[in-house]
Each structure stands twice: as C-alpha cells, then as structure tokens.
Amino acid sequence: MNTHKNSSLHALAFALYETALYLDGHPNDRRAIEYYDKTRAQYEKELEKYERENGPVTMNSDAATKNGTWQWVNTPWPWQNEYHKS
C-alpha cells in the first residue's frame, strides 16, 4: 500500500477522488477503504496546515470563519500568495 510522504494537497485530493470512483464499483474492497481512510487523514492534516498558513481553500472550510471574521475575502487568492513559489 502506498503512503504519501510529501504529497501536495492537490495530489492527495486527486488520490481521494480516484479511490472514491473505484469504491463506487467496489464498495466492499477493504484495501481500498483502508487506503481511502489513510489518504483522507493525511489530506485533513495537510489541509489544516495549508489553511493555517494561507487561509481557507474552499468557502465552506472551517478556516473561512476563523477569528470571527469572514476569511474567504480577507486572505490572499492563490495567485496572490506564495502558492506558486512553493
């Protein structure tokens, strides 16, 4: 089973989506379920780390209302931050 040591948030989201599509056709595949759970845990971890540094990734993210303000419009857009330099 693969692990994702230094995968980007984008790559982890892709892996989750691919696995979800597989699970649509194989809902009882234990290896796929295990992989999905592990990947999702890592995705959540990377998401939290990214949003702490860059603001919410999506409008309905927990980070959108951080500190009692609407962070969605108060944090840099992807093309305004360091996203492309990393």
Partner 1 sequence: MESDKRPHYPCDFCEDELDLIENLVRGNTRTNEDSMSNRSRRNDCGCNDNCDRDNCNSEDENAASRDCMCRCEHSNSMSDRCSECEMPSFNTNTALAIVYSPDHSFNDMYDAEEGLCEGTLFRRLNKPFEGATVRGGGR
Name the site residues for partner 1 (rule: CB under 8 A).
2-4, 6-8, 10-12, 14-15, 18-19, 22, 25-26, 29, 31-32, 35, 39
Question: Residues 76, 85, 79, 52: what is their CA dihedral angle, to the nearest 10 degrees?
Answer: -30
Q: Do residues 9 and 57 make contact, with C-beta atoms less than 8 angstroms apart?
A: yes
Please identify, using beta-carbon distances, which residue of 48 and 65 lies nearer to partner 1.
Answer: 48
Please identify, using beta-carbon distances, which residue of 35 and 64 lies nearer to partner 1.
Answer: 35
Please identify, using beta-carbon distances, which residue of 30 and 85 lies nearer to partner 1.
Answer: 30
